[in-house]
């Protein structure tokens, strides 16, 4: 297999490298700072305006109609430069592309892709986390609008969002998987209250909880048809659980490289520290190869469904292995430890819960990939 760039790809890569010299925001890692999350909208718009975001999505909605390899080039160069990865919102774009009508696509995709409109995802609830079909937020039809009542939690970017990709129950009498619908709900309206949640590593801007008390949404803002919310949600989760091309793999690799440099500066590690660092190197490299395989499948026209749960489980293992090595190596390399690496470790503990718990992923792999009987 020839991994070299074509002439067009090489020119694109060179242009991106030149652009990054002047436009890299030099933000701290995503898992360690509020500044990172506050500057994400600016970074999204800068990438888009530079011609480096939305590359594979349809041109009629603001994309560039390019092959997936161009996203890979962007991921590689951002990781090599130490710049933040591409904003992760492809799962919402894919859901709108697959399920929304033409008019809804035209209204929402250009702002979503360009970064003009910031979106959050309103799925999880206090009593319906991994058991998504048990959600209690309701949408009641009132003329040509729906009235929304309920609560969402762990809602990423909710304090910065203009719109919420909201899953709500529209038919209380239907089977719990069949009475759900998805809406694009404006966040700057009466009846919507946002409250940030402070994480264990001190971050307050990554996610929060959102309360809906009589908020209204036009019926024409429904994404998919009435009762099709479960299908839309599964499209979102299937794409959300994939490792986002090489972006996450590059992020983990960057952290591991920093740990290797810290270990060399220290001059000696004990057996446990060497073991933890070696395992982090192996795990991050394993994820890089998995993502390359997924990319190869995509370039060959193959699409994955429940296999996304395998990817999600592997990302959990990798992030927690890297986090464990971070606290082991960096904590020993500096008196009092390294705050950034400590926060990296603390953030990694959430990976086995966010996006669906590891236990749920194992159940999905067993029943939907391996074909084993359910409980």
Q: Which residues are catalytic?
A: 240
Q: Phi, psi (5° rounding) for residue 169? A: -90, 120
- Among residues 165, 62, 87, 182, the alpha carbon closest in space to that of 121 is found at 165
Beta strand 180-186 pairing with 119-122: unpaired
- Quick check: 306 and 234 in contact, CB under 8 A? no
Task: Look at residue 307 and give its three-state secondary structure.
Answer: coil
- DSSP code per residue over 176-239: TTTSEEEEEEESSSTTEEEEE---TTS--SSEEEEEEEEEEEEGGGBSSSTT-HHHHHHHHHHH
As to burial, measured by CB atoms within 10 angstroms (0-12 exposed, 13-18 middle, 19+ buried), residue 26 is exposed
Which tokens sit at 273?
A: 């520290």
- Quick check: 163 and 186 in contact, CB under 8 A? yes
């Amino acid at each position: 297999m020839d991994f070299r760039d074509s002439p067009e790809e090489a020119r694109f890569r060179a242009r991106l490298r030149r652009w990054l010299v002047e436009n890299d925001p030099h933000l701290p890692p995503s898992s360690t700072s509020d500044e990172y999350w506050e500057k994400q909208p600016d970074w999204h718009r800068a990438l888009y305006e530079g011609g480096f975001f939305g590359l594979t999505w349809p041109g009629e909605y603001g994309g560039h109609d390019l092959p997936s390899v161009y996203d890979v080039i962007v991921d590689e160069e951002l990781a090599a430069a130490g710049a933040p990865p591409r904003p992760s919102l492809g799962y919402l774009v894919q859901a709108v592309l697959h399920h929304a009508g033409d008019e809804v696509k035209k209204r929402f995709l250009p702002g979503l892709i360009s970064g003009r409109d910031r979106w959050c995802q309103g799925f999880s609830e206090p009593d319906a986390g991994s058991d998504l079909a048990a959600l209690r937020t309701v949408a009641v039809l009132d003329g040509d609008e729906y009235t929304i009542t309920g609560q969402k939690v762990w809602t990423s970017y909710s304090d910065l969002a203009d719109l919420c990709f909201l899953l709500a129950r529209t038919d209380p009498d239907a089977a719990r998987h069949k009475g759900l619908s998805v809406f694009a709900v404006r966040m700057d309206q009466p009846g919507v209250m946002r409250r940030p949640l402070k994480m264990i590593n001190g971050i307050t801007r990554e996610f929060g909880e959102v309360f809906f008390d009589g908020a209204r949404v036009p019926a024409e803002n429904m994404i998919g048809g009435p009762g099709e919310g479960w299908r839309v949600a599964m499209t979102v989760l299937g794409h959300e659980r994939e490792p986002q091309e090489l972006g996450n793999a590059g992020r983990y690799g960057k952290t591991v490289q920093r740990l290797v440099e810290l270990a060399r500066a220290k001059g000696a590690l004990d057996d446990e520290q060497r073991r933890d660092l070696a395992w982090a190197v192996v795990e991050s490299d394993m994820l890089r190869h998995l993502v390359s395989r997924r990319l190869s499948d995509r370039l060959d026209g193959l699409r994955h469904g429940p296999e996304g749960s395998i990817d999600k489980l592997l990302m959990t293992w990798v992030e927690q292995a890297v986090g464990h090595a971070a606290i082991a190596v960096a904590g020993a390399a500096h008196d009092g430890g390294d705050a950034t690496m400590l926060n990296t470790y603390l953030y990694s503990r959430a990976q086995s819960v966010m996006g669906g718990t590891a236990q749920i992923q194992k159940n999905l792999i067993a029943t939907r990939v391996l074909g084993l009987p359910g409980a």
